[in-house]
Every structure is written in structure tokens, then in C-alpha cells.
A and B are shown apart, each in its own frame.
Chain A
């Protein structure tokens, strides 16, 4: 009985919304959707764990020297990879052992965070801007513009992400960080555009948008003041979850040898070089892989937590 369920959820939220603050109520703090969401998030262990992980990862990316004094590019062939990790030497140079060229894996993992996270954050930022713009224009104006933009979105959506990135990236001589970011963003904006378009179409019919039109508000005002703030919640959720995906995309491409390349320090590059010695020293491969997994997981968990907080009805 789906109808029953719906009726119940409606009524379950009723006690929250119906009785509004009587004049005598002391609690006069302004509560926006975001502050309500924050209130929920602070109590959510999923959010707390992912937030701590992300803060640590961001710190690694911004200031890796705080975590290790070792140089990730310093190769000392005397310290061969067969010299096993010293699991008890916490945060020491040889904590995770050395790779094939005798470089500290611990230092490389710390320094590698920067490239991975820069790619992920950069791509997510570009994708969010581009996707929201396309989705908002298509959704708000509709008609021919919508038809054209939606078909373009469909074309890009049809391109397999990794395959497309491979094609784009192989056409570049030098694969710098920004090249990787731009190529991934070029292919990745479609999902956000679709989400944004859908949410704009719903919101543009809301009475408060009609009310603003009736007041004579300009189109830019309606878009920026009324549509955008209300359409952003689902976009942010999708973007957060996608961010994890871009980290693994970067790793995949680097592993395949067409993403970032030496001398850039990145998890993908290390996974790529680690596979060569999989039988002798699996940890060389496993440790950067685990870092990728943890990071992806942290962002996906964050996205989930944010979605739950923004839209309690989904739970």
C-alpha cells in the first residue's frame, strides 16, 4: 500500500511543521534548511567519520610535510622494496616500507594525496559549475534551448567515461594536472546537468517563483535568488558522491598510463608501478590502493550523510 505509506510520512512530519513557534517561545534562532541539516549531521556518526577522514586527507594535500619529514622522490636503492614494512614504526619513513626504487611508500602516500585530491576537487568544481549552468538554462527556459542542451547532454552522457577520458588524454603530449582535470570535467558534467535540470523544472513551478514573476522580478533575479538556492541541494549531494568517483578515475587513468605520470607523485602512478612487483611485494600496490578506497568511501559516505540531512523524507 504505497498510498498508505505516503499518507503516513506526511502526517509524521506534520507535528514538526504545523505548530509554529507561538509568540512566547524563546527559541528564536533563525533556522534555515542548512542549519537544520547541520543539526542532523553533527549527530550522525557516518558524517563524523567521513568528515574526520576528509579533513585529514585535505590536510595531507595542503601540507604533506606535517605528516612526514621524508622526501617522496628521494630514492635510496639500498632500501630495497624487499625490505618489509615496519608496521610498528608509526608515521616513520619506513612504516609502509619502500618501493622498487627505494622511495618511502609512507611519504609517497602522503604526498600523493595532493594530486588525487586536486584532480577530484578541481573536476568536481568545474563539473558543478558547468552542469548547473547547463541544467538551469535548459530547465528554466525549456523549449528549443532545452531540446538542444538536453541532446548535447545525452551525447556526452553516452560516452563511456574512462574510455572517453583515454581518448581525450592520449591526444595530449604532456599530461599535466590541469590537463587531466579539464578532460575529466569535459566528460563528467552531464550527470549534474541532468539533476540540476530536473530540480529546476520542479522549482520553477513553485508559487514563490510565480510570486516573484508577478512582482516584476528580472529573470536573473529569479534564477539567482529563487531557483539556484533551492535547486542546489540535490546537485551538492550528487557532486559529493561523484567526487569520490573522480579520485578512482584519476587512479584508473594513471594506472593505465594515460593519466598523471612520473615525476608527479600520485596514488594512481604508484598503483601503476606497484603492480610490477605484485608477487614479491604486494604491499607496494596495496597501500596506495587502500588510500584510494578510503578516500572514495569517505566522500561517498559524506554525500550520503548530506543527502539524508537535506532530505529527511528519503530516509
Chain B
């Protein structure tokens, strides 16, 4: 495994506190699943960190390990078949993997909350949304029913659900997709957590609603000065709201970068391929650039760089030597802050 200096590099662009280190730090995390065909290595040494008030986008395709990492942080990984053979997840400097069940449960929901893609199946269909929102206050803060209800309405207002007081007793199916996702956000916000993990929060929504929900999430994050981990497969969605981005492939981070830099000058051929393969709204190209081949089988991740069978730049060294996630520099050697790439030929990729 590669070792990366832990004092993480990225000086957060906006709103970061530089005192006391990161809010959440994932160190050399490994997760594997024992399937009937063998051991699937879903996460193979992931390092990332988020500060308060900062948004980290974790980008990857299905099977890249982006969601599994989040589930490991939340402690909601199915174990078995899942297993965490190695790694640390530090929340305010304390390793959550070493905590007792009770300690973790306390952090979950209160300190770290999660928003899921499918709001309909995440809400209990037989309980009113007001009840479900209020449950957080009744259970965690011991509020009375009445207080909890008032709090629920306040929260629903906060996430801009129109006529909150009138709709607090409605059931999840009476809300539209966008409104349900707002309710999920409200639930996540209820206890004013320090960190929110949003797993594809807008993927199931229509474009016009997507924009509303993303904006809402960004506003709330600024207001509460929370850390936000935004997990997505969509390069477009994160462009506006994230501060920095980590691109994952086959359970590893292949590139880390402040958000704007990544789109301008990708330092990994996979990122470049992803950017090139998206059709553009403002121009009609001839043929789309397509990354050839398929995402790797996690039971048999290729030797060397996992991307080598699909990479246009692949050389012999890529098939044998595993590329470490190294800092990326300008041609004259000045370091580009917060940028790292796990490619033997990052120089050619970024400057070529």
C-alpha cells in the first residue's frame, strides 16, 4: 500500500477552520466483501478528509467503492459479507472503527447524518412525515410530542416545503420526489450534525428539481457550517457546489483536486476520459469520446494500475507497478495545492 502523509494537504478554499485538523479523516481504508465467487475488494486504501464548512465530492462509477466508503463511515455496512480489514476513520481525531456500538450510535445521526438517493424507500410509508421528523427530537432530545411537532414544522420550513404547517401530517407518498428529498434533508439536519454524507442525493430527481435541491443543500451547508461529502457519478452536478473532489476507480482514489482545477486540467487519464465522454449541451460533436472496455471486476482487479486495460496512455510499467497518489506540480516544479494523481504519466496527462 501507498502511504500518504496524513496531515492532509488540501487547504480548504472556503470557510475552513484551520484549527484542530479535519472534521473527518479517512485513512487507508480497506473494505472487502466475501461473495460466493471470492473476495471482492471494494475499497483498497482510501484517504480523504473533510473540514467543517467544506464540501468534498466523491466521484465514481458503480463499483468504484464510493458508496461503500460512505457506508463504512456511517457504520451501516453489512458485516458480513463486508469486512474492514484495515484502516481508520477519524471523526474529530477519534477512530470510529475502535469505538463501541453505543459510542458510534451516538455519533450517527447526531454528528454525522446521511441522505440517500431514494427518498421514497428511506421514509416509512405508514408514518406521517411530521412524526418521522419529530422522532429525532423525541428520541434524541426527549422533547414532548407537541414540541417535536413544532420543531418538525420549523424544519420543513427550513428546507422550503411550502405550507409546512398544513402538510406536517401528510404521508410520504403524498409528496413529490423533490419534496421527499427535502424531507430527507430535513431529517438529516434535525440534530444539526457536523457532517452530512449525501449519496447521490439528486440522481432520482428531474433536472429542474435537481437544481433546487442542490442549491438548498449548499445553502444549508453554508448556514450551519457543516462538512458535506457528496457522492455522485455525475460530473455536472458537483461542479457548482463542491470545493474539492476525489475521483475513485476500482476502490482507490485516482485523483484529488480543488474542483475548478479538475475540469480545467485533469491529471489522470480516467478523469480526462470521463470529461471527454460527456456530450455537451452547447455543441453537437461528431462521435463521442468513449473510454473503451469495462470497469474492472473487483474479484480480479488488474495488476499495476487498475485502469491500465482501458487507458490510452498505458505502458508496460502500468501493467506491473502500482501508481502511488502523488502530488501534482506545475511544469516548473511548483506544487499545485491540493492536487494529487495516481498515474505514472500524470505529467504527460496534465501538461501534455
Contact = CB atoms under 8 A, between A and B. Distances in A.
Direct contact of A and B (CB under 8 A): yes
A14 B62 contact: yes
A22 interface: yes
Given A3-B122, A11-B67, A19-B294, A39 B299 contact: no
A22 B309 contact: yes
A39 B36 CA distance: 9
A306 B233 CA distance: 37
Given A3-B121, A36-B36, A15 B298 contact: yes
A262 interface: no
A8 B78 contact: yes
B299 A5 contact: no
Interface in B52-75: 62-63, 67-68, 71, 74
A9 interface: yes
Contacts, number: 73
Interface string A1-26: 11111111101111110111110010
B87 interface: no
Contacts of B68: 11
Contact of A16 (B37, B71, B78, B114): B37
Contacts of A11: 42, 67-68, 71
Given A7-B199, A12-B82, A1 B76 contact: yes
B165 interface: no
Contacts of A304: none
A15 B76 contact: no
A40 interface: yes
B63 A7 contact: no
A311 B301 CA distance: 27
Contacts of A15: 33, 35, 40, 42, 63, 298-299
A8 B36 contact: no
B78 A12 contact: yes
B320 to A, nearest CB: 17
B298 A4 contact: no
B177 interface: no
A35 B198 CA distance: 38
Nearest to B250: A19
A114 to B, nearest CB: 38
B172 to A, nearest CB: 12
B106 interface: no
A4 B76 CA distance: 6
Interface string A80-91: 000000000000
Contacts of A19: 63, 294-299
Interface string B288-327: 0000011111111000000001000000000000000000
Interface string A39-59: 110000000000000000000
A285 B71 CA distance: 56
Given A7-B71, A7-B116, A8-B71, A18 B62 contact: yes
Contact of A18 (B74, B118, B124, B295): B295
Interface string B6-45: 0000000000000000000000000001011100101000
Nearest to A24: B309
Contact of A8 (B76, B298, B309): B76
A5 B78 contact: yes
Centre residue among B297, B298, B299 by max chain A CB count within 10 A:
B297
B274 interface: no
Centre residue among A8, A15, A16, A36 by max chain B CB count within 10 A:
A15
Contacts of B90: none
A8 B40 contact: no
Interface in B62-118: 62-63, 67-68, 71, 74, 76-78, 81-82, 114, 116, 118
Contacts of A4: 71, 74, 76, 114, 116
A272 to B, nearest CB: 47
A6 B76 contact: no
Contacts of B77: 8
Interface string A108-143: 000000000000000000000000000000000000
B200 to A, nearest CB: 10
A7 B297 contact: no
Contacts of B67: 7, 11
A40 B124 CA distance: 34
B43 to A, nearest CB: 11
Nearest to B61: A18
Contact of B36 (A5, A9, A14, A40): A40
Contacts of B81: 12
A36 B76 CA distance: 28
20 contacts: A2-B124, A3-B118, A4-B76, A5-B78, A7-B199, A8-B82, A9-B78, A11-B67, A11-B71, A12-B33, A14-B62, A16-B35, A16-B37, A19-B295, A19-B297, A19-B299, A21-B297, A22-B293, A25-B297, A40-B36
Interface of A: 1-9, 11-16, 18-22, 25, 36, 39-40, 312
Interface of B: 33, 35-37, 40, 42, 62-63, 67-68, 71, 74, 76-78, 81-82, 114, 116, 118, 121-122, 124, 199, 293-300, 309
**When A and B form their complex, which 6 residue pairs have the shortest distance between CB atoms, in order from nearest?**
A15-B40, A19-B297, A3-B122, A4-B76, A18-B63, A8-B78
Given A16-B35, A22-B296, A40-B36, 9 more contacts: A3-B116, A4-B74, A8-B76, A11-B42, A11-B67, A12-B33, A15-B63, A16-B40, A22-B297
